[in-house]
Chains A and B, each alone.
Chain A
Amino acid sequence: MKDQADGYVTADGRQIGPVVMEMKNITLRFGGVEAIKNISFDIRQGEIRAIIGPNGAGKSSMLNVISGFYVPQEGEVWYKGARRPAMKPFQVAQQGIARTFQNIALFEGMSVLDNVMTGRLTHMETSMFWQSIWKGKAEREETENREVAEKIIDFLEIQAIRKTPVSRLSYGLKKRVELARALAAEPSILLLDEPMAGMNVEEKEDMSRFILDVNDEFGTTIALIEHDMGVVMDLSDRVVVMDYGKKIGDGTPHEVRNNQDVIDAYLGIAHD
């Protein structure tokens, strides 16, 4: 089914579109260590794509390659049908790829609303001059962006803490605010780095629900990293499995679950 060029229909009836991002033979080295070894995979329009693997498999490195924080030594990144030249992380963000971080990178000194508004920065085009004068276009733009931010705040059910400084929030709420900020950019691809790491069961359920809702409501393409197998299998449409920097599996959760290499990587293998 995934061989169809223009997409496929998922088990629950969602239409998945054509390939929006493709990683071709990516190799990333840190000194002599190969964190990613010749990996290729693609992300399709509207799908929830998971990258899983044991600790140290290179998942986060892969996400950092996609978001431009790392530049791979070999391989090509294709985005929206064109090869992406090496660029800075902020340029990648301006191209419509938003992300969250494993260890939460929020603006601690700002309120929740201000944090979400920074997600709108790439959508503000008024020049500094008009911004400083704060009339006409700048004012209109601020109002429009504020509306989008408020919509997302409502959607993720964080209205009650809109004005709270982020530093005062609990871990689970911070994760949600970070999701809100990334979502505020109305990204073509949303990258989530371990969105459920360190959460309790209830928070994980909330987060899973939000991820599904975001995908459903806005049709956002989501690529996420997670090492909780159970969560990933429920959420994602297709899964890439990494181990020691190599790709050992790629397919639907069902296919991956029955892949012998994957089972070995997760459960250990008897070496003789």
Chain B
Amino acid sequence: MPEQLAFTIEVFLNGLMAGVLYALVALGFVLIYKASGIFNYAQGVMALFAALTLAGIVDGQVPFSHLINAIFGTDVHHFGWNVPAFVAILLTMVVMIGLAYAVQRLVFRHLVGQEPIILFMATIGLAYFLEGVGDLMWGSDIKSIDVGLPQGLNMWIDETTFNALGYGFFIDNLDIVASIIAALLVVGLVLFAQYTKQGRAMRAVADDHQAALSVGVSLNFIWILVWSLAGFVALVAGIMWGTKSGVQFSLSLIALKALPVLMLGGFTSIPGAIVGGLIIGVGEKLFEFLIGAPFLGGATENWFAYMLALIFLVFRPQGLFGEKIIERV
């Protein structure tokens, strides 16, 4: 096999893996947007917040320690224990559900029936608020997350491909695990939406609020449910990103990469978020490898996704899987 082709395939595979993470963030957007029409700008920050909380709990950090020390003149930082990863993940999920409840109760309950732009502004406010709270609660230093996910070069793939093709593919174990977890997550969500009582109620609310009320569905409950699910997805995304590149505040910027993903996949489609994420991931890696680096001086990964989204906006504004925009007179 020619070396150039082998390289290309490797880049393609790595692109797929990167795309999985974009897809996870985009998935959180889609869940909330479908059920409530709110474009949740804070989704990326939710991933950051979840990762911070998880890292903090695992380390046994005292939440709001700076604040407590400043007010009471104490000097507390850590409880002095380490929480097992599994328990910490459960606790973080409890925090995310609490957050979902608070967001619905304190913010969006009072904004029912408002213009989409007002809801959007509220989520921008939420994003900055959450970033601040995360900072205050857990401190601003870069943390690492280790919940026991395998990391590093997958030797088996490396050896097998080397023996078969004469070139060993470099695939990170973490990426493989991330892909599998993301796939399970999506399948689980789809099954939940399709076959359970709450899933059916969720789809009902996504479709028509009035009708959902008339069959006895509480909109409030469903909105708390989707914010919790989005929180769960954010937690998964936060664990992946955090494990890969450390928990830092730039993590919230990945929300921006999810935007072109949504434009590609459509704002209302769960499969769209996945496929869109994979296309962006593969697209930017391949473009960089084949065109960007050799001809354009590199660093095309920063803008490739947005350019692709622009092209899509011109030719297919509803995205690949979005609902068709039909104007009737």
CB-contact partner of B211 in A88, A107, A117, A126, under 8 A: A107
Residues on A facing B (Cβ under 8 Å): 67, 69, 88-91, 93-94, 98-99, 101, 105-110, 114, 117-119, 121-122, 124, 126, 128, 131-132, 134, 138, 142, 181-182, 185
Residue B216 at the chain A interface, CB threshold 8 Å: yes
Residue of B nearest to A114 (CB): B200
The reply to whether A107 and B197 contact each other, CB–CB distance below 8 Å, is no
In whole angstroms, how far apart are the Cα atoms of A193 and B200 in the complex? 25
**With A90-B219, A128-B196, A185-B216 in contact, do A107 and B210 touch (Cβ < 8 Å)?**
no
Please name all residues of chain A whose beta carbon is closer than 8 Å to the beta carbon of B218 when the two chains form the complex: 88, 90
Binding site for A on B (CB under 8 A): 191-192, 195-201, 203-204, 206-208, 210-219
Given contacts A132-B192, A134-B196, whether A109 and B213 have CB atoms under 8 Å apart is no
Contact B217 A121 (CB under 8 A): yes
Nearest CB to that of B191 among chain A residues?
A134
Closest to A139 in B: B195
Cα A107 to Cα B218 in complex, Å, equals: 16
Show 19 residue pairs from A and B whose CB-CB distance is below 8 angstroms, ordered by the A residue: A89-B213, A89-B214, A90-B217, A93-B213, A93-B215, A93-B216, A101-B211, A107-B208, A107-B211, A109-B203, A110-B207, A118-B200, A118-B217, A119-B215, A121-B200, A121-B201, A128-B196, A131-B198, A185-B215
CA distance A119 to B217 in the complex (A): 10
In whole angstroms, what is the CA distance A121 to B198 when docked? 9
Which single residue of chain B is at the shortest CB-CB distance from A99? Answer: B214
Q: Looking at the complex, which one of A105, A114, A121 makes contact with B216 (CB distance below 8 Å)?
A: A121
Tell me if A121 and B196 are in contact (CB < 8 A). Answer: no
Known pairs A67-B214, A99-B214; A138 contacts B207 (CB<8 A): no
In the complex, the 4 A-B pairs of residues with the closest C-beta atoms, listed nearest first: A93-B216, A105-B211, A107-B207, A131-B196
Closest to B205 in A: A107
Shortest distance between the CB of B94 and any CB in chain A (Å): 15
Name the B residues within 8 Å of A119 (CB-CB).
215
- In the complex, A114 Cα to B207 Cα: how many Å? 12
Please indicate which of the listed interface residues A89, A94, A98, A114 has the most CB atoms of chain B within 10 Å of its own CB: A89
Question: Distance in Å from the Cβ of A177 to the closest Cβ of chain B?
Answer: 11
Contact (Cβ within 8 A) B215 A122: yes
Are the CB atoms of A128 and B213 closer together than 8 Å? no
Pair A118/B215 contact, Cβ less than 8 Å: yes
Nearest Cβ on chain A to B102's Cβ, whole angstroms: 20
Tell which of A67, A90, A98, A108 touches B207, judged by Cβ atoms closer than 8 Å. Answer: A108
Min Cβ gap A62→B in Å is 16
Tell me the complex Cα distance, A132–B216, Å.
Answer: 20
Known: A93-B213, A185-B215. 7 other contacts (CB 8 A): A90-B213, A93-B215, A93-B216, A107-B211, A110-B203, A124-B197, A142-B195
